[in-house]
Amino acid sequence: METLKVSTRSNPNSVAGALAGVMRDDGVVHIQVVGAGALNQAIKAIAIARTFLDEAGYDLVCLPSFAQVDIDGDVRTAIRLEVRPDRSGSLHPTSPLSG
Amino acid sequence: METLKVSTRSNPNSVAGALAGVMRDDGVVHIQVVGAGALNQAIKAIAIARTFLDEAGYDLVCLPSFAQVDIDGDVRTAIRLEVRPDRSGSLHPTSPLSG
């Protein structure tokens, strides 16, 4: 499984493009962030990726959890966002790509 | 549909308790936040709610999008998080509550 590290300096549009690509292949991505600024960029990227995918009849969902990460010997609490295709089938029942 | 406004001063544990309650009733909640600090509290709340629900064999997913909101005459970009039960069925195939 792919893990993307997103920081406060990450470009949400670039991250969104990467996410949308993986989702189209029905893949799963883990995004790892430390701090509120990095989380903000990651969530913006997910919101943008949803608009990219919407045009193709796809959607994605995000599942946040906590993780402990070691940064230069310092243990910090990170947020891990599992991003995967929306499999509920309720939003795009007539997706042109699924039938 | 319920809309929760979460701020930097919101207590993630309290928000998590409210979320978990609605999810157990198969409901949907919209969380609205403005700013990185508020988003951080909201995502922490969702991560905590997932641990509450996990004990009961449930899970939830989060779908972020942008929204324009008017705050005292100022138009600001907010993040809206749609939180709903995970209906993929892939995570808890042997959930004690589903069979």
Say which residues have a Cβ less than 8 Å from residue B95's Cβ, sequence separation at least 6.
B57, B58
Could you tell me if A24 lies within 8 Å of chain B, comparing CB atoms? no
The alpha-helical segments, DSSP class H, found in B1-99 are 12-24, 36-54
Helix (H, G, I), strand (E, B) or coil at A3: strand
Give the per-residue pLDDT at B71: 87
Give the per-residue pLDDT at B89: 54
Give the per-residue pLDDT at B23: 85
Helix (H, G, I), strand (E, B) or coil at B14: helix
A64 → closest Cβ in B47, B66, B79: B47
Phi and psi, residue B25, nearest 5°? -90, 15
Give the per-residue pLDDT at A46: 97
| Minimal CA separation from A61 to chain B, in Å | 5
Q: What is the distance between the alpha carbons of residues A23 and A45, in angstroms, rounded to a whole number?
A: 13
Give the per-residue pLDDT at A89: 54
More confident residue, B59 or B24: B59
Q: What is the distance between the alpha carbons of residues B25 and B75, in angstroms, rounded to a whole number?
A: 34
Q: Using a CB-CB distance cutoff of 8 angstroms, which residues of chain B are in contact with residue A62?
A: 61-64
A50 → closest Cβ in B44, B63, B86: B63
Look at the block and give the residue holding tokens 């808890």: B92
Q: What is the distance between the alpha carbons of residues B95 and A90, in angstroms, rounded to a whole number?
A: 21
List, edge to edge, every strand of the sheet that includes B74-85. A2-5, A29-33, A74-85, A60-71, B60-71, B74-85, B29-33, B2-5
Could you tell me if B47 lies within 8 Å of chain A, comparing CB atoms? yes
Residue pair A59/A85 in contact (Cβ under 8 Å)? The answer is: yes
B87 → closest Cβ in A44, A64, A90: A90
Tell if the pTM clears 0.90, that is, is over it.
no
Q: Using a CB-CB distance cutoff of 8 angstroms, which residues of chain B are in contact with residue A43?
A: 39, 43, 64, 79, 81
Structure tokens at A91: 């939003």
Give the per-residue pLDDT at B90: 43
Give the per-residue pLDDT at A81: 98
pLDDT tens digits in sequence order for chain A, 99 residues long:
788 999 999 999 999 999 998 888 878 999 999 999 999 999 999 999 999 999 888 899 999 999 999 989 999 999 999 999 987 754 444 444 443
Per-residue exposure over B54-69, b if at least 16 CB sit within 10 Å of its own CB, e if not: eeeebbbbbbbbeeee
Residue pair B83/B45 in contact (Cβ under 8 Å)? The answer is: no
| Minimal CA separation from A73 to chain B, in Å | 24
Average pLDDT for residues B27-49, to the nearest whole number? Answer: 96
Residue pair A24/A59 in contact (Cβ under 8 Å)? The answer is: no
